[in-house]
Chains A and B, each alone.
Chain A
Amino acid sequence: MAGSRRSPVLRDQWRASSDTRDQQDREGHRSRGPHRDRGRERYRERQRRRRPKGGRPDHPRSPPPRSFAQPDNEEPRSHREFSPGTASARISPGPPPSDIQPSQPFGRHSLPKPTEYSDLESHHSLKVDRPIERDYRRDQSPSAPPSKRKRTRSPSPGLYPRHSNQEPPRHPYSKQGDDSERSFPHKRGRGRFPGRGRSGRRSPRRGRDRRKDESGRRNSYRPRRSKSPIRGAKFYNHPRRRLHSPHPGDDIEGEPRHRSVSRHSAESVVSRLSTTSRRESLTMHSTRPNQSAANSLRSPTPPRPIPSFDVDTVRASVDGDTAREAFPTHGMRASDARDSKPANPRSHLDTRPYSTSPQYVTPSNSYNGSPQSTSPYSGGRGGWNGHQPPYQGRSPPYRQPPTGPQSQFNSNNIPTGPRGGHSGYRGSFQNQGGNRRFSGSGAQSYTNAPSPRGRGNFNSFQWGGSGSRGRGPHSPHITHGRSSQSPPPPPTSEDQMPMGADQGGNSFRLSGQDRPVGDEKPGSENGDSQKMLPTTGQPDTSATPNKGGKISFAFKAKTAPAPAPKPVPDLAQRMLAREPPPRVAEPPRNKMTSGPPPKFKPEPRFDRRDRDRERERDRHRERDRDRGRNGRRDFRDPRGFRDPRDRRDTRRDDHRFDHRHDRRRDDRRQDFRPERHQGRSPEPKKEPKVLIRPKPRPTLPEEFAKSDSVYYRKPGNESVIGAGTYGKVFKAIHVYTQKKVALKKIRMEGEKDGFPVTAVREIKLLQHLRNHNVVSLLEVMVERNECFMVFEYLSHDLTGLINHPTFTLTAAHKKDLAKQMFEGLSYLHHRGVLHRDIKAANILISNRGQLKYADFGLARFFSKSRQLDYTNRVITIWYRPPELLLGETRYGPAVDVWSAACVYVEMFTKKAVFPGEGGEISQMEKLYNCLGTPTRVDWPDISEMPWFELMRPTERKKRVFEEVYGHILTPAALDLVSQIFRYDPATRPTAEEILAHPYFVSEEPRPQQAIELENIEGDWHEFESKALRKEKDREARRAEYQRDKEKRKAGTSAPPSERETKRARQDAEDSQPSAQATEQ
């Protein structure tokens, strides 16, 4: 699935830039390319060039590998798309192509299949490279939404692996006799791919398509995959492609089967992991290169080659013609690549498998493998060894490999295994499908593996562990066998090209390896794979130790350093102590890393980033998947069978100490290896260490410790900061985080219908609102049969601030608050929310002057497209606009604007603008008195108001608002407010328009946030200011009144005395020096 998807996507992407080109190129490649390697190369180069031109950044970065693959793919695509089978046939032409070409359409099945496979493989490899590149691109574009990127990324990787996996099997199968079927799938895939590819171009779409495909359209995807591979195969028609294809085919077969299994079991996981798989694929790519590079570069490859040779021979014998055909092509490519590089047969073999494997195997192997690859190799070898026999026993090597994978997968998903095994030829198809699926699964496994590698192998245990291992082994087997075969045939020119491609792939891989990040990843992967293998892949582990064990160790060692960044030392040490071979391998890794990076530095970087990101993501995902266990999930998986308790402990530790965890993980991983050999003893040791490390336990203050709630609030009414019909609001503090919160106790008394719907509505609304001008609902808490809404705590509300005894807002402060007020209102209205209870007391101010709307108990969503009927019993009556007072039920955001304007004016006057007596009639009278009586000119619909006849003005009055407030407000502010205070809601400016008013835009002073509030001691809310008024002001008033009377009698005027006296008294009582200072 992933493979097909990926390939399509890639193709699509490529296509997007140069679909037509690609197609043409493909055609040319197919017809021309197969024989003309150089031409292909040229095409590739062109494509590379084109790609960058195309505007696809990803391609440019990874141009070399991709260019190879892509160009081929692109060129062939045009032809291939039309006649994938033919293309494949053309591709194969090198050896079989001539025959195939003529019979391409029909003969494709038989002949083309191998070619296709080869092509596919090559495509896969190419694709793989591309995906990597793409991945890099994706990674590079961190800014882009992670999810989308991830998705896209994951798909691409999956696609690659899948394709490779799928394709290779197909080839063999096709060779065997399923060619027709295979060809068909390819064709199908082609047809589908274009569309997919296009969709794939767009990351979101890609992700969706991929997901959908993976989850739902597996069958179709498979064919698509096959198609994609075919396309790729067409591109790959060249020997290179062949080289790739053989390996991929093997890998694919095995992988797909594995994947299918894994998919089945992990399908859901896969779907989830699709993103991860993508990531994994990325990692895989990186890992693959590493592997390939490691193989080629590393001497260890020789040992590998040996097994591979054995496998190959076996396979060759088993596969016979089909295997040979596929292998030859693949071998040719691989050999070419190998020849060009190290020329060592073994290395070639290794490289081939790697290169191919990366494509085909890579999906499984590379992911598991590249990092795992080593492990996969080992595991693969082991698996191969163990599995190989079955393969050998089975005439179809491909099938066998799949079976092998199956067995491995079986650990994960037995059912899939059977599939792979069952369909020998169809199996190819099925396998392909399975492979595709597997690729997906493989990708998943990869993802799992990578993630586990990176951090804890959390997922890997389940999926990656088995799947990756199984895949790894399978792919390696395939690759090895193919490689062994292929080496002889490889044409130098082609080889060079393939080499380039392979190198490119390797380079990517190598780059990954070379690059510390890549190394880390691979190492982690390797370590994971190793660990994984030990833990999950019991069979794998066994297998690994036997044959690939050394190899794998070598890889592991290499990989270990790579992941080492954190755990490296532990791993390395452990590795060394435990297994000398790994140490040997380590140097190679370094070499690899050092060598290749320069070539593909940019790519590796991307890889690193991608890998890191992937790792992190995988880790996160894995963690989530792992039941919320952090890093120890991985451990758990391995241990899962062993020590759950220890895992838990480690988990705790992990949480606290990531590095430690990583180390532990690595240790554990290493331990796992030893454990396998030695036992579980290492784990327990590590665990105790973890326990020792924990930081000193934080101690809670006594009052917090005694608190029976997480949120400590002072006893009695001391903590009450607000009260209303809804209930009470308390100030509390989180005993652990020391974070202050406001607890809004939902009043349940007197509720006949259960939980108050207003509270439900408020919670629902607040969960949808995220804005710096909207108070954030942290959580909803049920405690002692009481329900609390937990809000962030803000020190003041606007009422308290306006009436603050010592602090006075400057004009700039007021403007800033007004700006924030209308900004928040603009946000709410854009989100389709009517607050419907805006008043000074519901506007909170932080001690930094940050304004936030609170109390959404009356808020509701409103329809912007239609005028709906709402209740008019909303908004505190002083702030209620005239249309509501006149009974309008079809209102809109203008009601909030009116209320906000009331609040704004209140900041200047310190008292309500329209303080009615509490009834609608008196309130309306207030409006009439201040704003004049409305006319039809002012408000055409006024007579349509339901209650207009009830509350029409008794006499005409003039508008006096401007006169009254002209001396209080600046000209611009007055203009703004008078615009808002219009009777007709349709003529009121919207919040957005208000923000564009000269008052905010041009008039001085500029808005200035009231950060001075920080200096104010104590919190000021309406509640407190009210209490102050009541308690102190009353007395003050009495005294003042008496004084006033005396003064009046004396003839002295003292109008402001009340407030001043109040303030003075309050200040004196409150003892707020700073505030006092500010006031005066």
Chain B
Amino acid sequence: MNNRANIMYFVEQFCEMATKEDHPPYVRMIQRDILRIVDAAAPPDGSGAANVKHVRRVLNGLQSKEILSAETVAEIDAGLKERETHPAHLDLEADEGVETKGGTPRGSRGNVRVDKRQIEQRIEEDRERNKRLRESMWTVSGDDGDEHGKFWDETSDIGEDDFLAANEELMERRQMVSGAK
């Protein structure tokens, strides 16, 4: 399961590299087989439910890189939704689930349920992935205009917090002034 998720992320990197290094055949092959890849990474039997989110993320990434068309991604998304929600239903239905939980949930889970070690490994991998994703989030395009716009958008309106901070600064200054005396 974890390897399948990792392969999905590899597909994204692979396509990116192929585009950059001018190897269009690889990209074409991915485009052709993306459905098979998705099916393998997130099988409809429920065992791949945990991978659905990763598959989706990769698909969105491929779409943003113009490797996959929006139609293809939408199509795949629709299929993934079923696979993802299928098990969740049983577990999350508050009242009805009580009776059924003994049946379907267990059955599906029994098959799908991965052992703890795998889960913990997955958790760790996801964290590392998230960490690496955030490593590049501070990069800027180098265009001062864009950077300025970004800062402008990120700047929150002045509010209570600003006054609180200003007040604290004032207190600090007073303290320093009085202390200096």
Write out the residue numbers on chain A whose beta carbons fall within 8 Å of the beta carbon of B172: 770
Shortest CB–CB separation between residue A208 and chain B, in angstroms?
14
What's the Cα separation between A942 and B93 when bound, in Å? 12
What's the Cα separation between A952 and B101 when bound, in Å? 12
| Chain B, Cβ-Cβ closest to A885 | B123
Could you say which of B13-21, B28-36, B71-79, B114-122 contacts chain A? B114-122
Could you say which of A351-359, A809-817, A861-869 contacts chain B? A861-869
A693 within 8 A of partner (CB): no
Write out the residue numbers on chain B whose beta carbons fall within 8 Å of the beta carbon of A864: 156, 161
Write out the residue numbers on chain B whose beta carbons fall within 8 Å of the beta carbon of A866: 154
A753 within 8 A of partner (CB): no
B65 within 8 A of partner (CB): no
B69 within 8 A of partner (CB): no
A703 within 8 A of partner (CB): no
What's the Cα separation between A1009 and B60 when bound, in Å? 55
Q: Which of A620-647 contact B (CB under 8 A)?
A: 620, 623-624
Q: Which of B122-168 contact A (CB under 8 A)?
A: 122-123, 126-127, 130-131, 133-134, 137, 154, 156-157, 160-161, 164-165, 168
What's the Cα separation between A934 and B97 when bound, in Å? 12
**CB contact under 8 A between A872 and B127, given known A145-B170, A956-B101:** yes
B27 within 8 A of partner (CB): no
**CB contact under 8 A between A146 and B173, given known A830-B160, A935-B94:** yes
What's the Cα separation between A619 and B177 when bound, in Å? 11
What's the Cα separation between A938 and B160 when bound, in Å? 31
CB pair B93 A935 closer than 8 Å: yes
CB pair B92 A942 closer than 8 Å: yes
| Chain A, Cβ-Cβ closest to B110 | A954
What's the Cα separation between A943 and B52 when bound, in Å? 11
CB pair A950 B50 closer than 8 Å: yes
CB pair B154 A145 closer than 8 Å: no
B174 within 8 A of partner (CB): yes
What's the Cα separation between A858 and B160 when bound, in Å? 25
Shortest CB–CB separation between residue A939 and chain B, in angstroms?
9
Write out the residue numbers on chain B whose beta carbons fall within 8 Å of the beta carbon of A619: 181
CB pair B94 A831 closer than 8 Å: no
Write out the residue numbers on chain A whose beta carbons fall within 8 Å of the beta carbon of B134: 869, 871
Q: Which of A153-199 contact B (CB under 8 A)?
A: none
**CB contact under 8 A between A919 and B127, given known A830-B164, A953-B91:** no
What's the Cα separation between A869 and B127 when bound, in Å? 12
Write out the residue numbers on chain A whose beta carbons fall within 8 Å of the beta carbon of B50: 947, 949-950
What's the Cα separation between A146 and B174 when bound, in Å? 7
Q: Which of A67-95 contact B (CB under 8 A)?
A: none
CB pair A921 B116 closer than 8 Å: yes
What's the Cα separation between A866 and B152 when bound, in Å? 13
CB pair B114 A831 closer than 8 Å: no
CB-contact partner of B174 in A145, A952, A955, under 8 A: A145
What's the Cα separation between A951 and B87 when bound, in Å? 13
**CB contact under 8 A between A946 and B116, given known A830-B161, A865-B154, A869-B134:** no
CB pair B101 A147 closer than 8 Å: no
Write out the residue numbers on chain A whose beta carbons fall within 8 Å of the beta carbon of B85: 943
Shortest CB–CB separation between residue A632 and chain B, in angstroms?
16
Do most interface residues of chain A lie in helix, strand or loop, or is the interface mixed? Answer: loop
A889 within 8 A of partner (CB): yes
CB-contact partner of A946 in B93, B94, B126, B161, under 8 A: B126
CB pair B130 A871 closer than 8 Å: yes
A1049 within 8 A of partner (CB): no
CB pair B91 A947 closer than 8 Å: no
Write out the residue numbers on chain B whose beta carbons fall within 8 Å of the beta carbon of A935: 92-94, 97
What's the Cα separation between A709 and B6 when bound, in Å? 53
What's the Cα separation between A845 and B97 when bound, in Å? 47
| Chain B, Cβ-Cβ closest to A922 | B116
| Chain A, Cβ-Cβ closest to B176 | A620
A605 within 8 A of partner (CB): no
B88 within 8 A of partner (CB): yes
Write out the residue numbers on chain B whose beta carbons fall within 8 Å of the beta carbon of A951: 119
Query: 1/0 per position for A905-923, CB-CB distance to B under 8 A?
Result: 0000000000000011100
CB-contact partner of B109 in A617, A872, A954, under 8 A: A954
What's the Cα separation between A920 and B53 when bound, in Å? 19
**CB contact under 8 A between A832 and B161, given known A770-B171, A937-B94, A942-B92:** yes
| Chain B, Cβ-Cβ closest to A919 | B120
| Chain B, Cβ-Cβ closest to A887 | B126
**CB contact under 8 A between A147 and B116, given known A830-B164, A831-B164, A956-B98:** no
What's the Cα separation between A953 and B106 when bound, in Å? 10
B55 within 8 A of partner (CB): no
Write out the residue numbers on chain A whose beta carbons fall within 8 Å of the beta carbon of B102: 955
CB pair B119 A921 closer than 8 Å: yes
| Chain A, Cβ-Cβ closest to B46 | A949
CB pair A146 B177 closer than 8 Å: yes
Write out the residue numbers on chain B whose beta carbons fall within 8 Å of the beta carbon of A889: 130
Among B84, B114, B127, chain A packs the most CB atoms within 10 A around the CB of B127
A873 within 8 A of partner (CB): yes
Shortest CB–CB separation between residue A883 and chain B, in angstroms?
14
What's the Cα separation between A933 and B105 when bound, in Å? 14
CB pair A955 B160 closer than 8 Å: no
Write out the residue numbers on chain B whose beta carbons fall within 8 Å of the beta carbon of A942: 92
Write out the residue numbers on chain A whose beta carbons fall within 8 Å of the beta carbon of B109: 952, 954
What's the Cα separation between A78 and B147 when bound, in Å? 47
- 17 other A-B residue contacts (CB within 8 Å) besides A620-B177, A935-B93: A145-B170, A145-B173, A146-B173, A146-B174, A623-B180, A830-B164, A831-B165, A864-B161, A865-B154, A869-B130, A921-B116, A936-B92, A937-B94, A949-B52, A949-B88, A951-B119, A954-B105
The residues of B with any CB-CB pair to A shorter than 8 Å are: 49-50, 52-53, 84-85, 87-88, 91-94, 97-98, 101-102, 105-106, 109, 113-114, 116, 119-120, 122-123, 126-127, 130-131, 133-134, 137, 154, 156-157, 160-161, 164-165, 168, 170-174, 177, 180-181
21 residue pairs from A and B, CB less than 8 Å apart: A145-B173, A147-B170, A830-B161, A831-B165, A832-B161, A864-B161, A865-B156, A869-B133, A869-B134, A869-B137, A871-B130, A871-B131, A921-B119, A942-B92, A943-B92, A947-B122, A949-B49, A949-B52, A949-B84, A949-B87, A956-B91
List the 10 closest A-B pairs by CB distance, nearest first.
A949-B50, A865-B156, A935-B94, A949-B49, A620-B180, A936-B92, A950-B119, A943-B88, A956-B101, A145-B170
